Amino acid sequence: MSGGNGLKKVLASDKVSEKLKEVFAEYDISFDIETGYSPQELKKVLGDYDGLIIRSKTKVTSDVLHAVGPRLRVIGRAGIGVDNIDIDAATARGIVVMNTPLSNTITTAEHAVAMILSTARQIPFANQTMHEGRWEKSLIKGVEVTGKTLGLIGCGNIGSIVSDRAKGLKLKVIVYDPFLTKSKAQQLGVALVDWDFLLANADFVSIHTPLTDKTKNLINESTILKMKDGVRIVNCARGGIVNEDDLSKHLKSGKIASAALDVFAQEPLSQESSLLGTPNLILTPHLGASTIEAQERVSLEIAHQIGDYLTSGTVVNGYNVVSLSKEDHQKLLPYKKVASQLGSFIAQVRESAYQKITWQYFGEILNLPTEPLLRVGLKNLMKGVVESVNEVNSLYLAKERGIAVEEIKNQNSLKYKNLLSLKVLTEKKEISLTATLFAGVPQIISINEVSIQASLMRHNLYLENRDEPGFIKDLASVLYEEQINIASFHLGRKKKGGKAICLITLDSQPSNDLLEKINQLPLVETSKFIFMD
């Protein structure tokens, strides 16, 4: 393996383009391609890497992930499906999972169109008979696609390309997609229809939806019986959406004239599958993404995504965390510092377990994704309490521990362009903190609803005291005795003579003995040293 001290390293455990070596060299990242690892071998080597690139062969199981140390930060799937990665285990370990959902869109769409044409003209069967030395011209009769109706189940990135190509073939395109708006359908030039209408009117049905609990076995005996006699069905999306036994049954009965599958419930396809030997059925071994262009593109895309993440923290096509453009990433950095300080501050003043954490955002900050702010704040809230917490797993770990997490968004920011507020309910009390950005620097606006304006420094002293004469004199005297210099001093109170808050920034860290002396002052109710990275 290559790489020196401190050099980031990435491993590709499945076959990828050799050009990735050039890509990672641009990021000053060491890169190895070593395929054929068994799970046990992968566990042994993976702890030496910051990133892992896989395709469909490598299985990144919970067992593998729990065996590696904290160095591994990102797993990149060169392709769309992440079924071979234990997402929950990766998230719990604080590992970002990325994929490349758009890299195979054209290739997969073109394969679907090829399958549609193949079902219409029986091209694979005709080819087979020719190679067998037979001339079956009179036996093989196809149908024209011109003027026929193509029903698309799902019209996202791939489905929309299929619709565009299909219209060029003079097919009428109807679509069932609960997430497609009427305006988008008009823009695509397709007719948005309900489920039963599509089943009853489509001459060709092409599937372009993810595999979920709702779409599993979506095409089954019940739905097939609602289709036209002689319908042709194509699935280049995900195995398991089509019930293979029901498809085979109705191909044999003639209800379905022809079908073409590129994906299967079990891959590789079992030799016991009911699909094998079924007439008028075209089978390809998951070739949707298998073009020279797509294989090259998918490898290069995931390399750049991982390179950007390891060098700048930018997340593109994150599967278990929010994705950010480089532009949004840069805009969020100062606000992440605000969230980080809020979380760190409350973590150091709280005295009992968290029960509920509420983040509230005001103003222009809502034009940016807020989840990264939530995650970084939670990370600092739980640092020192939860082992190996980071921005990736902080939300997961909070919920796993039964901590309620809430986000509230409000465009009205009162007199500030942006405000970020954190309220934490613990077993003993409620703590709240509000901050904004002032000239690009985080500034505290209030603590426990007491107005106070202060910018935190590396060393900070937080006190709650009774608002009575003598407090400042006593405190200054103790600090003077210890030769602790004050950088800034901020006071706030709700009412005269009540509880007051004091936030002091210091030039050096106070000793534990000094904190004990401060706590013994007659007007001090509590004091905490707050350290900021």
**Active site positions, annotated:** 238, 267, 286
CB atoms under 10 Å from CB of 218, counted, come to 18
CB neighbour list of residue 45: distance below 8 Å, 6 or more residues apart: 1, 11, 34, 37
- Structural contact between residues 341 and 386, judged by C-beta atoms closer than 8 angstroms: no
Residue type (1 letter), 189:
G
The CA distance from 366 to 370, in Å, is 7
- Structural contact between residues 237 and 209, judged by C-beta atoms closer than 8 angstroms: yes
- Structural contact between residues 158 and 206, judged by C-beta atoms closer than 8 angstroms: no
The CA distance from 316 to 296, in Å, is 18
- Structural contact between residues 505 and 483, judged by C-beta atoms closer than 8 angstroms: no
DSSP-derived letter for residue 319 is: S
The CA distance from 287 to 276, in Å, is 18
The CA distance from 4 to 389, in Å, is 27
The CA distance from 205 to 437, in Å, is 54
Q: How far is CA 260 from CA 233, 234, 349, in A?
A: 6, 5, 63
422-456 core/surface letters (b: 16 or more CB in 10 A; e: else): bbbbbeeeebbbbbbbeeeebbbbbbbebebebbb
DSSP-derived letter for residue 38 is: -
The CA distance from 113 to 116, in Å, is 5
Collapse the DSSP code of 483 into the 3-class scheme (helix H, G, I; strand E, B; otherwise coil) and give the result: coil
